[in-house]
Structure 1
């Protein structure tokens, strides 16, 4: 598969991931559970999330809107109408989101394969008062969220690589 083909596949993959994530956040904003109880949050924030605290409802609307923007940006990287968007902006967004999502999936940001693995292996002890919940959320993060963010991040970086390869030569 050529680099251009990988970039197109990455852009469409990023758009699909953004649409899936945005759909979930929209459902949560409208009152559905939609995996909200599987969100790896500290217990006090998790309770506020599940109680539909107005701040969390507002954040779901913002994230749903950001996901729509993500779909548009991903498609702008490979569709003809995207030529109207500055390439440098697309590059910054694609690489920035790709690196952020891969870092999140690996565990640099506290969640991810490393943190969840350490918690489930007993190397990093969970909070005593919430040990069962912490283990349950770590399993969900390890099996669902971290792979999802890794895939999404890989799609964004493939998009960024394709954009960089297509950048006009200077000289």
Structure 2
């Protein structure tokens, strides 16, 4: 696939992933339980999340807003109206987001394929008194969240890697 096509697929894929993630966070901010009980959080934070602690509600609004910004950033790399944006900044943001999401998916940040596999293989002990819940959340993370973040990160890196930096202007 030509470099420009890879970047275009990456940009649209990153925008779709951001929209999906943002929609879920918006639903949670408005009171829906949409996968909130499957969030791989430590037990005390999970309880606060499910109790709709104001900090978590606010964080969902912030994440929904960040997802809107993500959609706009992704599309700015391929749409004509994005030509006014500084190309280097857009691509730097795409690289950072892609690398961060891939690192999260792999497990560098504590969650992800490695951490989940270690927990499920009993190499890493679960929190005391929360073994069944920790294993359930690890399965959800292994089958849903980590692949989603890996895909989303791959889209961001395809967006960034498929573009040449030419200052301002659409490629």
> For the superposition of Structure 1 and Structure 2, which TM-score range results when normalised by the shorter chain?
over 0.9
Structure 2 counterpart of 1:167:
165
- Please provide the CA RMSD for this pair: 0.9
Q: Which runs of 5+ in 2 are unaligned?
A: none
TM superposition shift of 1:105 = 0.2
TM-score (norm 1): 0.96
Deviations 1:17-55 (A, max 9, x none): 000000000000000000000000000000000000000
Q: TM-score, normalised by structure 2?
A: 0.96
For the 8 Å contact 2:87–2:166, the answer to whether it is kept is no
**Structure 1 position 168, deviation (Å):** 2.6
Q: Deviations over 1:97-127 (max 9, x none)?
A: 0000000000000000000000001111111
Higher share in helix: 1
Structure 1 gap ranges (5+): none
Shift in Å at residue 167 of structure 1? 1.9
